Structure 1
């Protein structure tokens, strides 16, 4: 399997991981020897053949048929149209609520307060250590 674009790379790696094919890098297509070797291996391998047949059998006997599922959803949409009760509530949120910016502001303010308090404590300690002692002149 040679993935070219889109989600083909993910699908090829998944099929390869399950043993149903061999993923071949599209940038190696110019190397005809390697390509022909991979094709021969894929055609002659009994492990790949049995894995591919097993995956095909699994897909044929899925508990929920994808075509039937799509048709049921399409029929439901055609019959009832837009059902407000099935719409998630977050579509009514404004920008601040949707991205939870108010929570981030609180977190940033808390971190800023901690940094400021740490700065003040460090400054006070430095003043006491370096400028706290007054030396008297000996006459």
Structure 2
């Protein structure tokens, strides 16, 4: 049996995300706050949510964004889980890592992502601005 982290807030956030009766707004807020926490058990729980959401939903996108923030902060990715990412969740992870820790993007994935950003109409500047604003918001609220 795995022990839960001592981080009570992290446990509460995951409880909201796993509560089928929780309001969608509460779940999205909880997903955005995941980045401020970490731990192996915690990441495994995020992986479960992403799989449950089939990497596609808005909730999955918010969870993926927070997961990428955790990885960027810790300077590593989960090599075992990363290949599972696809669809909107993968795009969120690549967007955050591309803006904050591009060296963590596995070889091959990065080139595909960079070529996507270089296509006309890719909104590269808007994506970079959004990632920067999210990062700054998180910094501001962490003090």
- Shorter-chain TM range is under 0.3
Q: Greater RCO between the two (CA within 8 Å, min separation 6)? A: 2
- From the CA coordinates, give the structure whose radius of gyration is larger: 1
